[in-house]
């Protein structure tokens, strides 16, 4: 646990008692603060009470009087489309609003560091797609290289639940736009921006707000090294803003598809090969084509991001290459479930939007595609240019019929349930094809989250 600094003897309100909220409450107590806890969910409140915490209804009049700070969970809106009523009262009263990420950065360093030979470092990963894979891959490389490391944030533990840093340790954090937008302290040593595509637009009032939330990690965080994906305009703009010129190697540009040989430091993948260039010459190359845990161009971009971050930490290319080979990938993200009669079954339940589904579809030459769920604005119309590899689509969930109308000439079948979709796809699949779950939709019509949806797919496949 990371005891929270700066609030000893003071009252700190905590709104939202999920994983991060309860971890925050424990860390506040460890730091000498008095947490005032609330959640609208009776189940969440009961869980907090079972741990011995006293609840305080933060919605009642005067509940925020004398409170030094309000800590809110990521899922609770604080600005758009409208702030939660308790957060709105804090804003009106001038009570500082923060989150566990802000508390982490103000509390992570300790006096023990004075005796360390190598200062601990923090790597933060943000972006629209690939954050989790990139974070897990960096963590895996560090483990293979023998570096002490912990992984937290949007993946693994809550940030305040990790152990105090050891000598030379690297903490790797996955951060969402909800987290970077609000944190009052952001001081990563290495910050990674993977890519940007439309998502959470209601929460950020459009693409401009969404991009601004991600950008805070770099503009306000001031990392020593910035790893920036430049395959979209926003990434190119960010790299330009952060650097003092094309040869400024504090910015490491990454790409999947572009050759970037004119910059001070760049890492890019083309035709399955990763290349590192520094000051006009190539210094390393890795063949990614046979790396089973990183299939497709989108995962090659993740590999570039992780490679660049680890090179910024001083890890040798050969060590990174070996770690790539032993990386098993993450559940629900291009996860190979099994191969049966020459047919591979791939679980990419995390592909909840059009952009991530497009990347998954482009990773394989012949696809039996399981898609559907709670569709997002625009449905799957934007996927039309990426359906060339789709042999047939098997549509499930609330948006199955809407998706069917947007598929044009692509063969499809409305299956409604995962059970039927897996059975039909397996029945019709031929050797060399891939049965791919890449829903391009949220899961909430049939499942509580994308993990449960992926687990159902895995269970149905293994039961064949």
Of 304, 326, 348, the one marking the end of a domain is: 326
Q: Which residues contact 6 (CB under 8 A, 6 or more apart)?
A: 31, 106, 107
Write down the pLDDT at residue 363. 87
Q: Is the pLDDT of residue 8 over 90?
A: yes
In tens, the pLDDT along 318-337 reads: 999 999 999 988 888 888 89
Same domain for 302 and 348, yes or no, is no
Are β-strands 149-153 and 251-256 bridged in parallel, bridged antiparallel, or unpaired?
Answer: unpaired
CA-based torsion, 134, 137, 143, 144: positive or negative: negative
Check whether residue 234 and residue 179 sit in a common domain.
yes
Residue 132 is labelled as binding a ligand? yes
Judgement on whether residues 279 and 183 belong to the same structural domain of the protein: yes
Mode of pairing for the β-strands spanning 273-278 and 281-287: antiparallel
Q: Is there a single domain that holds both residue 438 and residue 410?
A: yes
Q: Which helix (H) or strand (E) segment is 453 a member of?
A: helix 450-462
Transcribe 95-164 into DSSP letters: --EE-HHHHHHHHS--GGGGG-SS--EEEEEESSSSHHHHHHHHHHHHHHTT--EEEEESSSB-GGGSPP
- Residues in CB range of 273: below 8 A, 6 or more apart: 285, 286, 287, 288, 289
Query: Is 32 known as a binding-site position?
Result: no
256 is in an annotated binding site: no
Asked if 24 and 74 sit in the same domain, the reply is yes
- 214 contacts 196 by C-beta, under 8 angstroms: yes
Same domain? For 25 and 45 the reply is yes
- Kindly state the average pLDDT of the residues 4-32: 96
Based on the fold, state whether residues 305 and 390 are members of the same structural domain. no
Q: Are 76 and 15 in contact (CB under 8 A)?
A: yes
| pLDDT digits 0-9 by tens, 359-379 | 899 989 999 999 999 998 889
Q: Which residues pair with 362 in a beta bridge?
A: none
pTM score? 0.85
The pLDDT tens digits of the residues spanning 130-166 come to 899 999 999 999 999 999 999 999 887 899 999 999 9
For residue 429, being part of any structural domain is answered with yes
Q: Is 107 annotated as a binding residue?
A: no
Averaged over 162-188, what is the pLDDT? 96
128 annotated as a binding-site residue: yes
* HSE, side-chain direction, 13 A CA sphere, residue 242: 30
Domain CATH code at residue 403: 3.90.190.20
Q: Are residues 386 and 240 in the same domain?
A: no
Last residue of a domain, one of 326, 350, 369: 326
Domain match, 446 and 364 both? yes
pLDDT at site 295 = 85
Percent over 70 (pLDDT), the chain: 100
Quick check: is 3 in a domain?
no
User: What is the structure's pLDDT at 53?
Assistant: 93
Token pair 């998954």 is found at: 360
Domain identity same for 213 and 152: yes
Residue-wise pLDDT tens digits, 349-359? 999 989 889 98
Confidence (pLDDT) at 331 = 84
Q: In DSSP terms, which residues pair with 434 in a beta bridge?
A: 344, 367
Identify whether residues 161 and 67 lie together within a single domain.
no
Per cent of the chain over pLDDT 90 is 89
Is 452 labeled as ligand-binding? Answer: no
Q: Is residue 20 part of a domain?
A: yes
Is 320 found in the same domain as 382? no
Q: 68 lies in a domain?
A: yes
Res. 285 pLDDT band, cuts 50 70 90: very high
What would the two tokens of residue 446 be?
Answer: 């049939």
Which of 326, 358, 376 lies at the terminal end of a domain, its last residue? Answer: 326
**For residues 445 and 452, what is the distance between their CA atoms, to the nearest angstrom?**
12
The model's pLDDT over 93-109, given as tens digits with 9 standing for 90+, comes to 999 999 999 999 999 99
Q: Is residue 129 marked as binding?
A: yes
Q: Does position 345 have pLDDT exceeding 90, yes or no?
A: yes
Range of the domain at 69: 11-98
- Give the CATH number, domain containing residue 285: 3.40.1190.10
The one-character DSSP state at 258 is -
Residue 5 lies in a domain: no
Provide the number of structural domains found in the chain: 3
DSSP line for 168-215: T-EEEEE--HHHHHH-S----SEEEE----S-SHHHHTSHHHHHHHHH
């Amino acid at each position: 646990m990371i005891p929270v600094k700066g609030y000893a003897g003071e009252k700190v309100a905590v709104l939202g008692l999920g994983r991060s909220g309860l971890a925050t409450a424990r860390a506040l107590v460890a730091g000498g603060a008095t947490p005032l806890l609330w959640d609208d969910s009776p189940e969440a409140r009961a869980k907090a009470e079972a741990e011995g915490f006293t609840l305080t209804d933060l919605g009642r009049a005067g509940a925020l009087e004398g409170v030094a700070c309000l800590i809110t969970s990521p899922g609770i809106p604080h600005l758009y489309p409208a702030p939660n009523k308790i957060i709105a009262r804090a804003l009106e009263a001038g009570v500082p609003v923060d989150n566990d990420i802000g508390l982490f950065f103000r509390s992570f360093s300790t006096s023990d560091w004075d005796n360390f030979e190598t200062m601990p470092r923090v790597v933060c990963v943000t972006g629209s797609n690939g954050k989790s894979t990139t974070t897990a891959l960096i963590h895996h490389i560090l483990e293979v290289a023998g570096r002490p490391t912990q992984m937290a944030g949007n993946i693994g533990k809550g940030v305040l639940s990790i152990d105090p840093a050891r000598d030379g340790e690297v903490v790797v954090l996955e951060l969402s736009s909800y987290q970077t937008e609000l944190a009052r302290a952001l001081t990563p040593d290495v910050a990674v921006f993977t890519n940007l595509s439309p998502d959470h637009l209601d929460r950020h009032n459009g693409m401009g707000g969404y991009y601004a939330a991600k950008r805070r990690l770099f503009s306000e965080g001031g990392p020593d090294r910035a790893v920036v994906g430049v395959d979209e305009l926003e990434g190119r703009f960010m790299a330009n803003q952060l650097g003092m010129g094309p040869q400024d190697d504090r910015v490491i540009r990454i790409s999947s598809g572009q050759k970037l040989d004119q910059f001070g430091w760049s890492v890019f993948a083309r035709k399955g090969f990763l290349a590192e260039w520094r000051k006009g010459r190539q210094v390393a190359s890795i063949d990614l084509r046979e790396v089973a845990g990183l299939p497709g161009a989108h995962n090659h971009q993740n590999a570039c991001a992780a490679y660049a971050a680890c090179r910024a930490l001083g890890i040798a290319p050969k060590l990174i290459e070996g770690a790539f080979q032993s990386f098993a990938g993450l559940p629900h993200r291009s996860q190979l479930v099994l191969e049966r009669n020459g047919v591979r079954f791939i679980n990419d339940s995390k592909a909840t939007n059009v952009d991530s589904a497009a990347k998954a579809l482009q990773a394989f030459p012949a696809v039996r595609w399981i898609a559907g769920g709670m569709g997002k604005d625009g449905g799957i119309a934007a996927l039309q240019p990426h359906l060339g590899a789709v042999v047939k689509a098997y549509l499930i969930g609330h948006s199955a019929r809407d998706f069917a109308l947007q598929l044009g000439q692509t063969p499809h079948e409305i299956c409604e349930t995962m059970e039927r979709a897996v059975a039909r796809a397996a029945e019709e699949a031929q050797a060399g094809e891939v049965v791919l779950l890449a829903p391009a939709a949220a899961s909430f019509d049939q499942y509580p989250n994308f993990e449960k949806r992926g687990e159902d797919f895995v269970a149905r496949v293994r039961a064949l």
